[in-house]
Amino acid sequence: MALRYHPEIGTIVICDFTGFIEPEMVKRRPVIIVSPRLRNREGLCTIVPLSTTPPNPVMPYHYKLKLDKPLPPPYDSPFHWVKGDMLATVSFSRLFLPRTHQHANGKREYVIKVIEDIDLRKVRECILHALALSLLTGHL
């Protein structure tokens, strides 16, 4: 079920990029919420995608994020690469909480995962590098 609220900054959710055009993201993948809830901007938030495939080469806008507890399958890798160069603003209708499983009665269980502050700082550094604003990283 799509999100109906703006998640906390640093929350990992699943984004369905279906309808985007390559070389944009074009499939479901975990993302990190990086924008706050803004008035007059209901239903939208800014995200940074994650990938389990290491970039080649690793650039300043990439960060290897280690999760203390992996996400549910199929996103259950202990490491994810932050793709700070793929920043996007998307509708809540594209966003879903990671789901662990569905009970026989139809009730689903979801995971709410918020990354640590130190990792969020690194994600923000990646974004600044990708936007050619590297000089601002010292202000984080």
Could you read off the pLDDT of 69-118 as tens digits, one per residue? 999 999 999 999 999 999 999 999 999 999 887 677 777 888 899 999 99
> Rounded to whole angstroms, how far apart are CA atoms 37 and 6?
6
Report the pLDDT value the prediction gives residue 127, as an integer from 0 to 100: 97
The CATH code belonging to domain 11-139 is: 2.30.30.110
Per the CB < 8 A criterion, the answer to whether 54 and 81 are in contact is: yes
pTM comes to 0.93
Average pLDDT, the chain: 93
